[in-house]
Amino acid sequence: MRMAFRVSFSLFVVVFGLVASAFTGIYAEESESKEFVLNLDHSNFSDTVSKLDFVVVEFYAPWCGHCKKLAPEYEKAASILSSHDPPLVLAKVDASEEVNRGLASDYEVKGFPTIKILRNGGKNVQEYKGPRDADGIVAYLKKQSGPASLEIKTADDVANLIADKKIAIIGVFPKFSGEEYENFTALADKLRSEYEFGHTLDAKLLPRGESSVTGPVIRLFKPFDELFVDSKDFHTDAAEKFIEESSVPLITEYNSDPSNHPFVIKFFNNVNAKVLLFLNFSSDAADAFRSKYHEIAEKYRTEGLSFLLGDLEISKGAFQYFGIQEDQVPVIIIQTNDGKKYVKSNVESEHIAEWVKEYKDGKLQPFIKSEPIPEQNNEPVKVFVANSLQELFFNSDKNVLLEFYAPWCGHCKKLAPVLDEVAVSYESDPDVVIAKIDATANDIPSEFEIQGYPTIYFKSKSGKLVQYDEDRSKENFIAFIEKNREKIEKPAAEQTDKQDSGKDEL
């Protein structure tokens, strides 16, 4: 079986950071304990959400550092928004609890914290993409609870909408009716968590080339490249594609400027293969790299590639994620949607174009992030790494129970002595292997769905793959292994030899 490695783009980004009457009863109960964030779980989630026109839900894990940091800000924001007219509800779900994993799966929770905005009784779901401090959360949610697109009547309205270093989309119409206007408002409602929307009857209010606006038109303002672009295609799919493609810079820059971070997120969320160049922005060669990289980005912008330029000083988390070292800078990486990575270390500016061409021509070999293969592997629980998975797992003729863990995970630490006991129980059984792999330090094949730690898979002798999702006790592990294992049949010649030997002894 050939391994195809996959990675989570969102993980990289993290490494780089009621109806009123119905609400009244819920809020009164919570206010007695001075907690304004509603605690939801699998037993009350659907019933509660169905009664709310607007609710924000945080999916968290108690051990998550980012969640701990967010908690007091989230609670403070919930307190403030409880006085909003109508009140805005903030809730949370412990997605690490076994009973809530179905909820986490339904809402595509792949990391913590994940925050969702649910509208119309939960029928419409959007990602929360706002700030993580109390004041920022309050301001963002007040805007999200209002109209999706604001009517522009004055120049001040435009100035407030088109802020520096933000994307803003304005629809210009001869009247606020008709198919174009209806499609625009529907699109604004769908994408409101990501962009600022406005609509106007007066094209003269628009800055930056308003004389060129002649009819129903969508104008997208951006703080990079050509500053604004227009489209007259109001079909919803085409208009959404126009907005998504136009709101990503030719080259996304990752540096110490927080205003660039939303574009970094968009970079990793788009469907293209990702080209990432990391270098020291203060080096003498930085300008030469920028110039060459811009030329390459222009050449390949319509060929399924997106480009990012990252500063060495703030990209150390990215290096750990990709499995590279600082002494490899300048380094260029191409990452495909199926998880393959291609790496060129200590690259020179004049060699980038040829290397990208070799990738496009299919001449490059993928890079796999892996810890070193252990020289000794004598402990009861064996240590696997990315470079040994093919041999020790996929090509193994044994039954293998494999734990994917994270060194910082409390649940993994609690499980460790249990797995040790299970492994000791099978030490004399050559047919069964108990193993573990650090999923944060090794690329994980796409055959495995890792949504939290620990995740445990069992592979039978014949290659059947089953995920372990039961109580993590020694007895349950052994029962599971015995149920799913396959015995290794002795070769016929070996069986004949033993029979012959038995006759001689008789």
SS3 307: strand
Beta strand pairing call for 305-311 and 251-254: parallel
Cβ neighbours of residue 486 closer than 8 Å, sequence gap 6 or more: 399, 460, 461, 462
Quick one: which H or E segment has residue 477? helix 474-484
Question: Is 67 a residue of the active site?
Answer: yes
* DSSP string for 133-166: SHHHHHHHHHHHHS-SSEEP-SHHHHHHHS-TT-
> Interior CA angle at 150 toward 146 and 154, to 5°?
140
| Share in percent of the chain as helix, strand, coil (round to 5) | 40, 20, 40
Q: Give catalytic status of residue 129 as yes or no.
A: no
- The one catalytic residue in 52, 412, 419, 435 is 412
Which helix (H) or strand (E) is 26 found in, with range? Answer: helix 20-31
CA torsion angle for 316, 322, 328, 332 (degrees, to 10)?
A: -110
Question: Could you confirm whether 409 is annotated as catalytic?
Answer: yes
C-beta of residue 149 within 8 angstroms of C-beta of residue 188: yes
Q: Which of 13, 64, 115, 432 is catalytic?
A: 64
Q: How many CA atoms lie within 13 A of 372 on its CB side?
A: 4
Catalytic annotation present for 255: no
Q: Which of 57, 265, 409, 444 is catalytic?
A: 409
Q: Which one of the listed residues 67, 90, 239, 422 is annotated catalytic?
A: 67
Q: Which residues are catalytic?
A: 64, 67, 409, 412
